[in-house]
Amino acid sequence: MARRRPTTSEYAVLGLLTFGEKSGYDLWRFADRSVGFIWAPTKSQIYKVLPRLEGAGLARARTVEQASRPDKQLHRITPAGRGALREWLATVDVNAEPHVYLLKVFFGRHAPRAALVAQVDAYRELTARTLARYEELDARLPRDDRNALPLEVLALGLARARPTLEWAESLLAQLRDVRR
């Protein structure tokens, strides 16, 4: 029987565990302070993911006794977990949601440079297609009272897409710079 592929949340937790051994609560707080602007899990989501990672051999837990509190579980990534994370980071899914590309860039220090470049390039392409779609809508929508608010929302989309495309192009140039 084939082993199921981890979910994006499971990969994200594996990525967080590369920063060191943490309890479920510590992982939740760390996510909020690091990748929270991309992926913001609930505490319950973290606590559901950890046993699945352990069951798949991708993470391991140990119990730490505490005198004045209940014992806590500390989790760490296993070599198999590091391998699974690297494999995920090296795979470009052209149909991925934008946050998946950004998670892969965030954890990109664990990926080969070529894979990281491919992720950023795919994200740049997605952003360029989105911007082109927004610009087409902007050119077609009549400028009248009926469309005033939709045009305001579209203006926000344009205002976000343009600098995002510039950011992706700049990062690609940095990553492709062989002197780095």
Residues 81 and 116 reside in one and the same domain: no
Containing structural domain, residue 76: 8-91
Residues 54 and 125 in one domain: no
Shared-domain flag, residues 19 and 55: yes
Strands, DSSP E only, in the chain? 59-64, 72-77
- Report yes or no on 171 lying in a domain: yes
Model confidence band, residue 1 (pLDDT cutoffs 50, 70, 90): very low
pLDDT of residue 95: 83
In a domain, 102, yes or no: no
| DSSP structure class, residue 108 | G
Q: What is the largest CA-CA distance in the chain?
A: 68
15 and 87 share one domain? yes
The total of structural domains in the chain comes to 2
Which CATH number is 60's domain given?
1.10.10.10
Same domain as 78, residue 39: yes
Q: Are 110 and 85 in contact (CB under 8 A)?
A: yes
Using 50, 70 and 90 to split pLDDT, how confident is the model at 71? confident
Q: Are residues 87 and 143 in the same domain?
A: no
Q: Both ends of the chain: CA-CA distance in Å?
A: 43
- Considering the domain architecture, whether residues 76 and 38 belong to the same structural domain is answered as yes
Q: Are residues 133 and 86 in the same domain?
A: no
Beta strands in 25-79 (DSSP E): 59-64, 72-77
Q: Give pTM, 2 decimals.
A: 0.88
Task: Tell me: do 24 and 84 sit in the same domain.
Answer: yes
Domain assignment present for residue 13? The answer is yes
Report, as an integer, the average pLDDT of 157-178: 95
